[in-house]
Structure 1
Amino acid sequence: MFQHWTNKKRLLLGLFFLLVVDLLWVGSSELTEFLFKNTDYNKPFFTTYVKTTIFTLYLSGFICRKSWRQRCHCSMVYQSQAELSKILSDPVYVPINDDDGYSSIDSSDNEAVGPRVDSLADRRVRFNDHMEVRVMSEADAEEANLARLPYELFLRAQEERARVRRKYSVPVICKLAVIFCGLWFLANFSYQEALLQTEAGVVNILSSLSGLFTLILAAIWSSGPADKFTLSKLFAVLFSAGGTVMICLSDMSLEPVPIGAIWSVVGSLAYALYLVTLKRKVPDEGKLDIPMFFGFVGLFNMLLLWPGLLILHFTQLETFILPTPLQWLLLVINGLIGTMLSELLWLWGCFLTSSLLATLALGLVSPLTMLFDIFIKKVTYSWMFYAGMVPVIFSFVAITVLSHYHNWDPVLIGFKKFTKCITRLLQSAKLREMDSDVTSQLLSSQPADFYSS
């Protein structure tokens, strides 16, 4: 859809998607907090399972969109004459109605008349009384209809078909969904579990490590120039992590909770692996139908992960209890808006920008959530919150610029200039020292009477 856009337009649209996702995640976090605390339904595995299952609504596209159904089978464009008989139905003989009123003669009559015919009007051909009809399949009949179109319309139709055929087929998308459904579920479940085990501030601090993980993994498995490792990106990621620490320290009391910290790190690593690996597997977003992909992710999660509900229930780690109507309503709303729509826009934003920028967009959720508390809940924060917002926003803008200018590394350039200045200063100091040594040697080598004279 956006593959013909310029890099600048793609970057701006991707930024818009990521900012919208941040707003949706703020609302989703508020709904999750209300569901866990106010309605006393703290079931992270079940809530993640339900929200992931809602992804299957995307599979309704097979009913609404013809292009999705066409990708369920592969039609051959060029077929031999021997193969042509296989794509036609069995012959059906239909009687011919002779409405011309001519008294035509068949081949036997032609032999009787002889080779000469006196007038053109007497020349008649008598066909058989029945004609043979074979029905062509819809996919092959489309080729025949294209051949009858005017040239300009034929070119347009070919471009549209080429665009459809460039996309991955349904089996390929199913294979990708099977690979990534586990990573996606692990990342979301880890975040939910970490929220139950420790404070949100600790979770947000450790979740900021996903930017560092993404930077390292993208450098190892690079999928494009935007994933190139630079010192400027490393500085921006560390600067953003420092701002996140300041923001979270302004509204938390640090308590050592190792289990929640481990879940946070696992979730950060799973998010980074999910984004970097998917971006490498699908370098061009035009080939992947993202709604279809998420639809199969939801389907495979629903079919493969339901035994986890039974295991957690019988081990008493998470007792299964059916939600009340209010809890179901909150779950469905959160799944439709906070998961189904936001994840679609987030993955689009990742493809349009870079995996690192999409990961750093997660760091904006904490300050936006606290701004929501300031203006809606009238909560006050210390100066550390406002001071921490500066590096977070600055790092996001810096990574945006660096994603557009792939080969620009201002930190490396500044470091090289700094080292050159230091080298020049050291060299000049060494030269001055050498000059002083030479001068002292010359003075010491002069005869004593020279000074006396």
Structure 2
Amino acid sequence: MNLTPGKRWPSDYTLGILILLVVVSLWTVGNFVAQDAYDTGFRKPFWVTYLNASSFVVYLVPYAIKHVLQKYGIHVWGGRAKPHGDYQSLPTDDKEGSLSPGSHPYTPKETFKLALTFAIPYFLLNWALFASLSLTSVTSSTILGSTVGIWTLVLGRLFRIEALTPVKVLAVATSFVGVVLVSVSDGSSSGTPAAAPAAHTDPAPVLGDAIALLGALICALYMVLFKRRVRDEARVDMRLFFGLMGALNAVGMLPVGLLLHLVGAERLAWPGAHVALVIAAGVATTVVADVLWVVAMMKTTPVVASVGQSLTMPLAIVGDFVLHGAVSVLAILGCVVVLASFGVLGLDTRKEAEHEKGRGLPQQSTDEETMEMGDRSMQEEE
């Protein structure tokens, strides 16, 4: 029995939200793991980023084995008999007999070009994250990184992939208010004597904050452009995509790291046993979480995924409370505001999409149709 888009979509959206919650949890753990390495004196954000980004090469191993076996005529479970194998065609209007040009699955060659396009932005946004963590606290870095929602809303409108509705604007603004509340709380608590003995020191908090903001902008660009380019995660083999990105970063970024070593900006050094274990745990978290994040973003929207990233802030507050002591009322209030804004945005986006599906719109609408619907929605709200 074939499901209509309107019936299938809510389950996909719910799955995307659940995946996003898992990703947020993994990211928060990864942030504390990375900072644990920095607290021991191993402040090498580039090399930590390099190891994390290069680790995606592991996804190429099963793909390579499968390719070799199929090349010699050996049947592989789950193998595709033809290019369109398990890809589900999108429903079309009765008046149109074929899919739109932008709905076909990506071939391996096209996937390589896609990975080549996004490899550097992916590396830069993670480098910015780890660099900010080496200069400021997990909470402060998470706070500033949460501004990605604002960038995503602006860029989504600019690149015409997000319909700008009053609820989206309100949700992003409310989320930012929550971020500011926690930021004020974090700043005031850091100036108290009780916070002075904390294990982590902030050698350059202003620079760390600036890098975190830059990382938020790059992250928003990454999400918006990927969504605009791919449209549907079913079109791309995500394991192949991330595996190719890992290989490209492993080869392309190695000269940069060696240059940083030669000029003394960040020398390559072998970590101790404890730090090596911490880095390995971070790599394992990245390999799983970053792939799931892209899938979650494609099943929802860039704005939902970006505001969902703000959920790392409540978890970071909990983590700081467990590791370093008490948490302020302002921080709790800010976390509640962020959680509320994410819930409202999630419900509104789901209702909006269900309404569009109910009107019989194709799943892969054009940019102009999407923006026209958003404009009409704003006019109706007004």
| TM-score over 0.5 for the pair | yes
The gaps in structure 1 that reach 5 residues or longer are 73-136, 143-155, 417-453
2:367 aligned residue: none
Residue 216, structure 1, aligned to residue 140, structure 2:
no
Paired residue type of 2:300? T
Deviation at 1:368, TM superposition (A): 1.0
CA-to-aligned-CA distance 1:398-419 (integer Å, 9 cap, x gap): 111122122689x958973xxx
Paired residue type of 1:343? D
- Tell which deviates more after alignment, 213-222 or 345-354: 213-222
1:85 aligned residue: none
Paired residue type of 2:249? N
2:302 to 355, 378, 396: 355
Deviation at 1:288, TM superposition (A): 0.3
CA-to-aligned-CA distance 1:341-373 (integer Å, 9 cap, x gap): 000111110011011111111111011122234
| Identity in percent | 27
Q: 1:47 to 1:162 in 2, by over 3 A?
A: closer
Residue 230, structure 1, aligned to residue 165, structure 2:
yes
Deviation at 1:199, TM superposition (A): 3.9
Contact between 1:217 and 1:276, CA under 8 Å: does it hold in 2? Answer: yes
2:332 to 364, 380, 386: 386
Q: 1:160 to 1:217 in 2, by over 3 A?
A: closer
Paired residue type of 1:405? K
Q: 1:162 to 1:378 in 2, by over 3 A?
A: closer
Q: What is the TM-score when the length of structure 1 is the normalising length?
A: 0.66
Aligned-partner Cα distance in 2 for 1:328–1:3: 50
1:344 to 291, 314, 331: 291
Deviation at 1:204, TM superposition (A): 2.8
SS at match of 1:294: helix
Contact between 1:17 and 1:345, CA under 8 Å: does it hold in 2? Answer: yes
Within a 5 Å distance, the mapping from 1:82-97 to structure 2 comes to none
Paired residue type of 2:127? F
2:38 aligned residue: 36
Within a 5 Å distance, the mapping from 1:235-384 to structure 2 comes to 235-253=170-188, 257-337=205-285, 339-374=286-321, 376-377=322-323, 379-384=325-330
Residue 207, structure 1, aligned to residue 145, structure 2:
yes
Q: 1:260 to 1:3 in 2, by over 3 A?
A: farther
CA-to-aligned-CA distance 1:30-55 (integer Å, 9 cap, x gap): 21111110x32110000000111110
Aligned-partner Cα distance in 2 for 1:347–1:3: 24
Deviation at 1:378, TM superposition (A): 7.3
Paired residue type of 1:57? V
2:108 to 157, 167, 170: 170
Aligned-partner Cα distance in 2 for 1:346–1:292: 15
Q: What is the TM-score when the length of structure 2 is the normalising length?
A: 0.77
Q: 1:196 to 1:333 in 2, by over 3 A?
A: closer
Contact between 2:164 and 2:378, CA under 8 Å: does it hold in 1? Answer: no
Paired residue type of 2:36? F
2:18 aligned residue: 16
- Aligned CA-pair RMSD: 3.2
Q: 1:202 to 1:163 in 2, by over 3 A?
A: closer
Aligned-partner Cα distance in 2 for 1:414–1:201: 39
1:108 aligned residue: none
